[in-house]
Amino acid sequence: MTYSLDHVLNYSLVTIQDRQDAILKGSIARRNTLEFKPKPLSGLQRKDLEEKLPSRDIFEGKNKKELENLLAEKMKGKERVPALLFNQPQANLEDLRATA
């Protein structure tokens, strides 16, 4: 859709803060991020998916594959915290700017 000027001009901007919040929402992703797993939402067990998805407003899906697809659709390509935050995933972005 990047070649569609209408789509590009009407697309809402996703900030670094938005990406951080999207990944850290939910206890399992937060735990995996703090353990420095590169993709905290991949390779989850069915039990973890069933526990995680309600925190992201997903209440359907019968098997693991459906649950993974629903999560991927909801995340829209967000798989990890931004690179600036990898070593400190819960850091405040304003604090990082002050130290730079």
Q: Which pLDDT does position 100 carry in this prediction? A: 59
Which tokens sit at 8?
Answer: 């590009």
The full DSSP string for 10-78 is HPPP--HHHHHHHHHSSHHHHHHHHTT-SSTTSS--HHHHHHHGGGGT----SSHHHHHHHHHHHHTT-
Question: pLDDT tens, 68-90?
Answer: 888 888 888 888 888 888 888 88
Question: pLDDT tens, 33-50?
Answer: 889 988 988 888 888 888
CA 54-41-18 angle, 5° bins: 75
Q: Which residue has the higher pLDDT, 11 or 30?
A: 30
Q: Do the Cβ atoms of 70 and 61 come closer than 8 Å?
A: yes
What's the mean pLDDT in 51-67? 83
Q: Do the Cβ atoms of 86 and 16 come closer than 8 Å?
A: no
